[in-house]
Structure 1
Amino acid sequence: MSLTAIVALALAIAAVALSYRNPKLGGALLVGIAVLGAIYALLGAQTTTPPDQTPAPSSSTTLPAKTG
């Protein structure tokens, strides 16, 4: 489970607990769920993939032939 999912789940549980204690927060709970869903969707869309890296060409060095 990713850290983002854990944080989103914890925030959702806190929102449910608050709305349970105060039933007037039902509308605010729906807004909170919508905001959490949007944040989770935006964070989930930021998958970072490293760009294709091609290895640097190796320079072949040749030593001068020994004379003598």
Structure 2
Amino acid sequence: MKWVVYNCIFSKSRVKQVVYNYIFSKSLMKWIMYHFIFSETLVKWIMYDCVFLKKKFDRLYLKHIFSNL
């Protein structure tokens, strides 16, 4: 599981995949939420990446996800 988290940090495509899976998969939702809580670096990196890429869709859902943590 840690490998997946670290992989997210170093792979933008993987980050997007995780974000979308988080949105559309309730089972994965709990798993990702658990790791987001214990990985501030990953959270900050994903937020920065979404802002940098200027993707409103990602940012809106990420804002929703983080507000519910």
**Would the TM-score normalized by the shorter structure come out above 0.5?**
no
- Bigger radius of gyration, 1 or 2? 1
Report TM bin, short chain.
Answer: 0.3 to 0.5
Structure holding more helix per residue: 2
TM-score normalised according to structure 1 size: 0.32
